[in-house]
Amino acid sequence: MKIAQVVLRHPVDVAQALAPLQAIEPQWLLVFGAGAWLHGLQPVLAERFAQAKRLGCSTAGEISGQGVSEQTCVVTAMHFDQVQVHAAHTVLSDMTDSFAAGQRLAQALPAAGLRAVWVLGQGVNINGSALIGGLAAGLDAAVLITGGLAGDDAQFKQTWVMDDTGVHADHVACVGLYGQGLHVSHGSFGGWMPFGPARKVTRCNHNVLFELDGEPALDVYKRYLGEHAKDLPASGLLFPFSMLGQDQSDAGLIRTILAVDEAAGSLTLAGDIDPAGYLRLMHASTDALVDGAESAAQAAKWAQVQLGQSLALLVSCVGRKLVMGGRVEEEVEVVAEALGQTSVQAGFYSYGEISPMTGESACKLHNQTMTITHVMEFAATAADNAA
């Protein structure tokens, strides 16, 4: 496995900057950056990397081997010796189409030999839980699903997904990774702390929350936010919900607000809500979030013996970035330290993180979480021995 990466900061001499990526003849190209970067770069990538599957999205911050950046474009190229890469994409007509869109992606990927799927979706008009549900329903249960939802610098207006057909505001897209030489591990962790009482969900519809304890959900939420309420929905990133079960036990999932409806008094969350469950507000400190990122890295770490380069795909929530401010680099640094010098980091700050919980296999939509997908390729002899 060979990996090459460039961080584009100025739209000049792009062709020359991309030359190291062309040198490894990649089969897969990952692109994370501001929307303007994606639109400008797409025709260049289509011409120079026609043989590679291209996948990317707009972000609320980019992650690379150089750390965290903004208004840049991180392009990461992968060349595999044994692993095969297939791509799929579909139009997402509206939020209610999310489950069916996931099904369409699953149907478009060849089933034989599929080991892992990395999926990206637009981030503001989507039900991420339903997308995952549709994708999982069409795939073998052993296939690992990870990825994330695009961002737009916490504006919550328009996000973009890049695939082999171009850059689109209404697409979900993925790549499937195939072959016995592939090893993929994952980890996820939050670091947020609950506060205030648990509130009963008394009316919701999938990912739209109408009532808590019989009151309009928006009214309840605004009381807790106080002066921060005027900045909704962006300020909601600082105060996500913890999902609790019917017995008020922690379900291990966090939900972020994507939109508010003043007339209906409702909150649109990034993923489905348990209609019989409870929700509780959360907040965080920078130290707790950094510790959470380190825990995720340790969970994703697989082999102490390095078998060449590996890829660490980091998807972290924009809410974490807002809380940490100038210390946001720290959560990326602890991941790099945990995974070692031969692991190349690539990723973005998102509106939703897609990964199983640590130690589990069923994929979930997370918010306010650092998720890590660690990709390695065995040498042929190592693959044979492991088999």
Distance CA 93, CA 387 (A): 43
What SS3 class is residue 300? helix
Name residues whose C-beta falls within 8 Å of residue 386's C-beta, 6 or more positions apart in sequence: 378
Taking only the tens of pLDDT, the chain with its 387 residues reads 999 999 999 877 788 899 999 999 999 999 999 999 999 999 999 999 999 999 999 999 999 999 999 999 999 999 999 999 999 999 999 999 999 999 999 999 999 999 999 999 999 889 999 999 999 999 999 999 999 999 999 888 999 999 999 999 999 999 999 998 898 888 887 778 888 899 999 999 999 999 999 999 999 999 988 888 898 888 888 888 999 999 999 887 888 888 899 999 999 998 899 999 999 998 876 777 777 777 777 766 654 445 578 899 999 988 888 888 888 898 889 888 888 878 899 999 999 999 998 778 889 998 888 898 999 887 654 444 444
Helix axes 98-108, 128-137, angle to 10 degrees: 40
The string of pLDDT tens digits covering residues 159-202 is 999 999 999 999 999 999 999 889 888 888 777 888 889 999 99
Question: Roughly how many angstroms between the first and final C-alpha of the chain, as a whole number?
Answer: 19
Distances in whole angstroms, Cα of residue 66 to Cα of each of 70, 203, 280? 12, 45, 36
How many CA atoms does the CB half-sphere of 221 hold within 13 Å? 34
> Of 6, 48, 11, 1, whose CA–CA distance to 346 is shortest?
6
**Residue with structure tokens 């640094």?**
333
Name residues whose C-beta falls within 8 Å of residue 34's C-beta, 6 or more positions apart in sequence: 58, 59, 70, 71, 72, 73, 153
The string of pLDDT tens digits covering residues 353-372 is 999 987 788 899 988 888 98
CB 152 within 8 A of CB 38: no
Distance CA 331, CA 347 (A): 13
Confirm whether pTM is higher than 0.95: no
> Of 55, 129, 54, whose CA–CA distance to 95 is shortest?
129
The per-residue pLDDT for 302 is: 58
Distance CA 93, CA 101 (A): 9
Distance CA 357, CA 366 (A): 9
- The region that residue 199 occupies, defined by phi over 0 for left and psi between -120 and 50 for alpha, beta otherwise, is beta
226 burial (CB, 10 Å; 0-12 / 13-18 / 19+) is: exposed
The one-letter amino acid at 127: N
Task: Dig out the tokens for 66 from the structure.
Answer: 């150089």
Element (H, E) at 66: none
